[in-house]
Every structure is written in C-alpha cells, then in structure tokens.
A and B are shown apart, each in its own frame.
Chain A
Amino acid sequence: MKRAILIAASLMAGVGLASAEVAPLNVVYDDAGAVAVSLSGAPGDAEMGRKVFSTKSEGNCVSCHAVTELVEDVPFHGEVGPVLDGVADRWNEAEIRGIVANAKKTYEGTIMPAFYKTTGYIRPGDAYTGKAAKTDPLPPLLTAQQIEDVVAYLMTLKEE
C-alpha cells in the first residue's frame, strides 16, 4: 500500500517534470517558423548537441550539412544542405529551434526532415525496418532535449 502510494507519487513527479516539456503537437511556431521557448524546458548542452548532430542513429545532420569545426573528428560531410559555419550569425536561437524542429515551417517544401513532428506521414514506417509503423503518433526523430542540445551546438557556430 505504502509502496503503491510512493509509486503514484513518483509517477506524478514524472508527469510534473514532463509538463515543462512541449509535446510535438503543441509546439508554437510563429509566422516565419521560429519557436520562442525551449522544448524541454531546460537549456541545451552544446557538447551533447555536437554528438547528436554527427551521430548516424541520432540527428545525422552531417549526412546533409558540412561543418568545418567537425571535420577532424567526423569524416564525410554531406552537401545536400548548406554548410553551417556561421549559422548563428544568420539566425537567432528561436529561428534555429524552429528550423530543427520542423524546417518546413521556415522553408516550404524543403528536403530537410522535421525532427520534432509525429503525425501526418505517408506510409510511416517503424524506424528503418521497412515495416509499418507500430504507433500513431510516431516517436519524434529527436527528443525535446536533443533538439535543445543541437540548437545550443549550432549557437556556437559563429564567424563574426
């Protein structure tokens, strides 16, 4: 009995924590596609974001974008998207958050995938298995905190 209450209490604490997080369906984009508030409710960690950016099973951003600062650590940068050197001089944090969460709100029809979106797909699959998705909505490609970490990393890419 006591244990049940404890579990319930910790569950609620968990819910409490999660409520600081903005769920994918509740993200507010402004007219230009920017997102003003942190999706996780916490600040991002640039070092973690650098890893998310370059890890194949996470953001895999490097498959389309080159970053000079990464070259010595990570081979083979793609050239489908623009080089991101100095990206923080071109966009502010809210704009970058919007681009990473759902780039289609900033660039209509862009090839860049939406990393914090969970519904509205044609033939959604179960990750890279080729089989049908098991859930609707799908888990987003990146978690709220991973998005914040990537945003923090991109904010370090300044040239000026």
Chain B
Amino acid sequence: MKRTQLKTLGSTVAMLALVAGSASADEEANLVVNEEIEMVVRTDAPAHVENLSTIYSGWVFRSDETQALQMDDFDNPGMIFVDQAAERWAEVEGKNGKSCASCHGDVEEGMKGVRAVYPKWVESAGEVRTLEMQINDCRTNAMDAEPWKYTSGSMTNMVALISVQSRGMPVNVAIDGPAEMMWEQGKELYYTRTGQLELSCANCHEDNYGNLIRADHLSQGQINGFPTYRLKNAKLNSVHARFKGCVRDTRAETFSPGSEDFVALELYVASRGNGLSVEGPSVRN
C-alpha cells in the first residue's frame, strides 16, 4: 500500500502543479485597453497601507482568457451595460423634467475624473458619499425622480458609464480632513475577523493574495476595476454587492449595501488602491 503510494507520488505532485497552473494567471502581464489606454496594474503601495509594498489590480490574478476579455471594448461584455446607461443619461425622468444631461451636459466632459476621487467628502451634504449615493441624490433632489435601488442594474450600469470617463486615471481618494473618521471606521472593519470562520478582509486579501483558496486565485481585493462584469453571473457587479458576498463567505451576518459601514469600508478599500488606474468596467470570473 505504502509502496504504491510512494510510486505514484512523483506523478501526482506533477498533477498538483498542473492544477495550480491552470487556475493561475500571467502575473507579469501589462494591461493596455483598446491598444490605447495604458493601465497601471501594479505600483508602489501608498504610505497609508501598512502591510503591502506593492499594490496590484485584480486583473493581474485572472486567467489569460479572462485578462484578454478586458483588453478590447468589443470583447468586454461589460460595455453592453455601459451603452445601456449612456441611453439613460439623456433620458428625462421625474417631476422636474430633467435628465442627467440637463445638468451635466455631455457625459464625456461632465464626468471625466469623477470616479477616481469617489468615495469623497461632500461638503454641501456634510457626509462621505459613494457614487451611488451621489447619483441617487441627483435623482431625488435635482430630478424629483425615484431613487434607484443601491445594487440594481440601472444603478450599477450608470456607475460603470461614469467610471469609463476616468479609465486610465489614477485612483486618488482623499483620506484626510473630514473624511478621516470614516476612513478609520473602514480600516477597523477591514481588519475585523467576522463570522464563524473568523476571517477578516486582510486574512484573504493582504496575507494570502497570490495564493489559491480552492480554485480561486486570491487577489488583493482592490476596487479600481469596479463595476466588474463577472462571467459567473453575466452582469455588472457593484462594490457593495461584492463586499456583501465576501462577508457572507465568512459565515457572518453581512452589512447592507449602502449602509454606513460599507460606505466606510469602500472609502478605506478604495484608498488602498490609490495609484492604480480606474479600470471599470473590468472583467472577472
């Protein structure tokens, strides 16, 4: 029994390596979209990220096939949803007879650079806002229209349309001044070990990025690529929907999308990616 086990050891070890190899990606690859937009997918970690020296886009950890889908907008299935949102941009809705375009003009002009700095402290509102919160503020106040559900398709597609206008620009969220308290709150959450599995974001995305957890190749859990088109569910996925899934997977009671906890966590996680390029909509498995 033992001898036959030993005999097969060599070949099975080779198989193990093969299994691992098929799931992993070319971590050295560079991302240029449409042969035009050069993305920063790895760079020095910002000083406020204590335990990483280099930060990586999640794109780096995906398989060659998934990586390729993001290199050209004709192959990127997320762009269909961006087109849908582009139609919504000029659509009049609500009692004030306005569309997004009524206030912001051409999306390419009006929304350039916006994604890169969100979440951010909005002085007039006296709060840190995510893009989703800002969009709903425009809908309810400026347009007098119904707010969109936080992780709905309409909302996430609109966030993607706005992200596209910043593609290639470095993420640059502010963490000081009035945003600092929310940032601290988010950081605390990032390192809290929740649920019956007692896992924090950092356990998987800081201590184990680059490692396989079953068949999943762990990334740093950066959000510069959001919204992400996932091959798994064939739609655009928002930041808070992803957070919810990851917290659920620790066998914990999750937080609600749009909750203060998740807004704080988004601000903190976004700041860990300061310096990476805005990629949304990215493609993931």
Q: Determine if B95 is an interface residue (Cβ-Cβ < 8 Å).
A: no
Q: Mark B189-206, 1 if CB is under 8 A from A, else 0.
A: 000111111110001000
- Complex formed: what's the CA distance from A128 to B214 in Å? 17
- B253 x A64 contact (CB < 8 A): no
- B248 x A130 contact (CB < 8 A): yes
- A114-B198, A122-B193 given as contacts; is B247 within 8 A of A130 (CB)? yes
Separation in Å of the A94 CB from the closest CB of chain B?
23
- A62-B214, A125-B248, A130-B247 given as contacts; is B15 within 8 A of A72 (CB)? yes
Binds B, one of A6-14, A31-39, A74-82, A145-153: A74-82
Q: Determine if B211 is an interface residue (Cβ-Cβ < 8 Å).
A: yes
Binds A, one of B16-24, B28-36, B139-147, B267-275: B16-24
- Complex formed: what's the CA distance from A141 to B251 in Å? 10
Q: Determine if B213 is an interface residue (Cβ-Cβ < 8 Å).
A: yes
Give the one of B12, B211, B244, B253 with max A CB within 10 A: B253
- B211 x A130 contact (CB < 8 A): no
- A75-B19, A80-B213, A125-B196 given as contacts; is B244 within 8 A of A130 (CB)? yes
- Complex formed: what's the CA distance from A154 to B58 in Å? 35
Q: In the complex, which residues of chain B have a beta carbon less than 8 angstroms from the beta carbon of A111?
A: 199, 203, 207-208
Q: In the complex, which residues of chain B have a beta carbon less than 8 angstroms from the beta carbon of A72?
A: 12, 15
Q: Mark B1-43, 1 if CB is under 8 A from A, else 0.
A: 0100100010011011001100100000000000000000000
Q: In the complex, which residues of chain A have a beta carbon less than 8 angstroms from the beta carbon of B193?
A: 122
Give the contact-size bracket for chain B. Answer: 35 or more
- A130 x B192 contact (CB < 8 A): no
Q: Determine if B249 is an interface residue (Cβ-Cβ < 8 Å).
A: yes
Nearest B residue to A56 via CB reads: B214
- B214 x A130 contact (CB < 8 A): no
- Complex formed: what's the CA distance from A76 to B197 in Å? 21
| B residues neighboring A (CB under 8 Å) | 2, 5, 9, 12-13, 15-16, 19-20, 23, 192-199, 203, 207-208, 211-215, 218, 244, 247-254
| A residues neighboring B (CB under 8 Å) | 56, 60, 62-64, 66, 68-69, 71-72, 75-80, 111, 113-114, 121-133, 138, 141, 158
3 A-B pairs with least C-beta separation: A130-B248, A76-B215, A63-B214
